[in-house]
Copies of this chain bind each other. A is one copy, B any other.
């Protein structure tokens, strides 16, 4: 596993040195995951063909709506679709044909080139939680998120080894006006971290701000020639493409920036209450959305997205980590690969109110499915709580630690002479033990993955130290990380220009809070 290492440098003061020693925090970022293992494919060839055929039937007979977007309707008409009001009916095969110009892999550049990621093929890029209006931690409980919280999550993400991406709306900074917060969010990702990040999608003009600020950070020409943002374009399922999301997609596609075209589905409410039916609708929606991106600009980078939860039919609550959610993830991955497109799905999803056992069960099921199901871009990898209403500080570091499991698992099994270990077996023999043998001595440091958070101590030690549960251990880690955070170096002229852009933009508009 190649790693981009930037060891914590001493800030010179005795206090900083002591803190560094106490915390012994080493800042590393693992290279994005490259799977050296097979994928799990739950659908048969026959099932896949039925779903694909049915998806084309939906596009042709039922159609999709492009809302409040006359230009889009024009584009579809020109491309050969039938337009009636806002309904677009797409002849069988047309959408799939249009999708062919989308690239199969995307390189998203980070300002630190060592942290650039490839999205597609055998890659898995882990990005943090996206979207919650609330945050939670042990000390402060559940409360509306602020910009201060947002910055802390960006810092934690920067310091999390197995998180390859800084994400986007790691929480909604509700203390900043709604028409200005995207500027502060972008500024935080650009200056507090050096990992790749996502752009704003809540207004086409905010997408344009994202492109403009990226131009300051990377250089204007660089942005036109390279992908430096991956942004989340949700489809309003069933089969509805609204003008805000499509407007943002249009900006990004025109500027060569990547969009995740992602049906957002609570199963049973926004799609049929069956796995195959849901996959059929996902397929139809993604075909239409990605085809549209290629009408904007042939070759625009896009990702086949799917965010699908199951539902508790008793209460109507969305549910996570369920067998149906996993089946849909596995199936959607297969459909994406058959289209030759990068695939995005959810990561550490859960419905629990607390970072407790429920949260962990549900998260681990989703993590496993994402790894084995071929996800290339895993949003919500860490920190997601309460069905996406809450970004949890403790769960952020808990999940981020768990991502190491996926990273190691993906390496596969070494079968070279050292991996075979026959010398060790011969040396030790029946009844012996391996701790001291030459093979163990040569391999023990990297042989087994080790959590940096979970408890491996003897019972007595654990009890003496306060019988701490995972949440308590995680709260300590959050504090240690934030206490040891150091901003990655950035060209002061660029930072100044970014600050100036944000200040000017903010001054140009009155505050809006809805």
The answer to whether A239 and B409 touch (CB under 8 A), given A42-B37, A357-B360, is: no
In this complex, what residue of B is CB-closest to A50? B415
Q: How far is the CA of A46 from the CA of B413 in the complex (A)?
A: 12
Q: Which of A254-313 contact B (CB under 8 A)?
A: 267-278, 280-281, 310-313
Do residues B353 and A356 form an inter-chain contact, with CB atoms below 8 A?
Answer: no
> So how many copies of this chain end up in the complex?
2
Do residues B271 and A414 form an inter-chain contact, with CB atoms below 8 A?
Answer: no
Q: How far is the CA of A316 from the CA of B311 in the complex (A)?
A: 43
Do residues B430 and A239 form an inter-chain contact, with CB atoms below 8 A?
Answer: yes
Q: How far is the CA of A312 from the CA of B425 in the complex (A)?
A: 20
Give the chain B neighbours of A240 by CB distance below 8 A. 430-431
Q: Which of A311-339 contact B (CB under 8 A)?
A: 311-317, 319, 321-324, 326-327, 331
Q: How far is the CA of A239 from the CA of B314 in the complex (A)?
A: 53
Do residues B357 and A448 form an inter-chain contact, with CB atoms below 8 A?
Answer: no
A429 at the interface (CB under 8 A from B): yes
Q: How far is the CA of A467 from the CA of B363 in the complex (A)?
A: 20
Give the chain B neighbours of A359 by CB distance below 8 A. 357, 360
Do residues B314 and A425 form an inter-chain contact, with CB atoms below 8 A?
Answer: no
Complex partner residue of A324 from B323, B357, B447, B456, CB under 8 angstroms: B447
Interface with B: A120-128, A207-215, A216-224, A434-442, which one?
A434-442
Do residues B273 and A439 form an inter-chain contact, with CB atoms below 8 A?
Answer: yes
Besides A313-B445, A357-B357, 10 other CB < 8 A contacts?
A44-B415, A50-B415, A64-B430, A87-B430, A267-B447, A274-B414, A274-B418, A323-B449, A324-B408, A364-B368
Q: Which residues of A contact B (CB under 8 A)?
A: 37-38, 40-44, 46-47, 50-51, 54, 57-58, 61-65, 87, 142, 236, 238-240, 267-278, 280-281, 310-317, 319, 321-324, 326-327, 331, 351-365, 368, 372, 386, 389, 398, 402, 405-406, 408-409, 412-415, 418-422, 424-426, 428-435, 439-440, 443-445, 447-451, 454-459, 462-463, 467, 469-471
